[in-house]
Amino acid sequence: MIESTLVSVDVIALRFDPDARTVLVGVAPRAQAPFAGELALPGVLLGRGERLRDATTRAVTGKLGLAGESVTATGQLATFDEPSRDPRGPTLSIALWATVTGPSGDVAVWHRLDDVPALAFDHDRIVADCRPLLADKLWRDVAFTAGLLGREFTTAQALDVTESLTGDRPYPANLGRTMDRVPGLERTTEHASALPKGGRPPLVWKWSSEAVRA
């Protein structure tokens, strides 16, 4: 009988901050050794029979201090199998993404995707390797996109999120055409409320009800 492997679940928790106009990743200082006090992605050991989705929520609530309801969507990214990645012994790490909303949590520290500080374990590598995967999901994976932007959002916010994930701000006209092709996403004629500094109010986009049965 082969001795079984430990499996941990490490989560890239993303939150869109409309005020900062950017997407943020949640990290937290580790409570225990190894790497006690150092920042790390929220991660937990996968329980026997536990679903990945449940472990993801457990990591986000337990390690970042968020409410379970604030997790709007989750999904897989990749698996990291470097045996020496955890000093306690060989541990498989399944990297997942989660989109969250609402209050920022008790212990979470939020950083821009292109400005994540040095993290414990191989978490720097996980973030670096998974960033292109995340950028690829925007406007392609409806659950991811809707989870990040919420039930309805403005063109300006869509531009901000795209810039945060891809590193490149698209032209509004081009992004509009991209969004027109996203299934379940509808351009409304409503305008958002006036801006603090003036300027034309942006258009509102909404997910059709079937598309977001989260």
- Judged by CB under 7 A, the stretch of 26-34, 49-57, 142-150, 199-207 that binds DNA is 199-207
d(CA 146, CA 212): 7
Q: Does 24 bind DNA (CB under 7 A)?
A: no
Q: Using the structure block, give the residue that is written with the tokens 């970042």.
A: 64
CB closer to DNA, 1 vs 173:
173
CB 190 within 8 A of CB 204: yes
Report the candidate in 35, 27, 21 with the shortest Cα–Cα distance to residue 156: 21
As measured in angstroms, the least distance from the Cβ of 76 to a copy of itself is 6
Distance of alpha carbon 88 from alpha carbon 27, whole angstroms: 21
- Our measurement of the distance from residue 12's CA atom to the centroid of its chain's CA atoms, rounded to an integer in Å, reads 5
Q: Does 181 bind DNA (CB under 7 A)?
A: yes
Q: How far apart are CA 180 and CA 150, in angstroms?
A: 17
Q: Is the dihedral of CA 103, 105, 106, 112 positive or negative?
A: negative
Distance between first and last Cα of the chain: 41
- Give the containing element (helix H, strand E) for 166: helix 155-166
198 binds DNA (CB under 7 A): yes
Choice between 83 and 167, CB closer to a copy of itself: 83
**Residue from 51, 112, 151, 177 in contact with DNA (CB under 7 A):** 177
Site string for a copy of itself, 26-55 (x = CB under 8 A): -------------------xxxxxxxx---
Complex with DNA: residue 51 or 191, whichever CB lies closer: 191
What crossing angle do the helices spanning 155-166 and 123-137 adopt, rounded to 10°? 140
List 19, 33, 89, 168, residue binding a copy of itself (CB under 8 A)? 89
Residues 2-31 interacting with a copy of itself (rule: CB under 8 A) = 2-7
Number of residues that bind DNA (CB under 7 A): 22
State whether residue 100 is helix, strand or coil.
strand
Q: If contact means CB under 5 to 8 A according to the sort of partner, which of a copy of itself, DNA, none does residue 2 touch?
A: a copy of itself
The site partner of 83 among DNA, a copy of itself, none (C-beta below 5 to 8 Å per kind) is a copy of itself
Residues lying near a copy of itself in the complex (CB under 8 A) are found at: 2-7, 45-52, 76, 78-79, 81, 83, 89-90, 92, 94
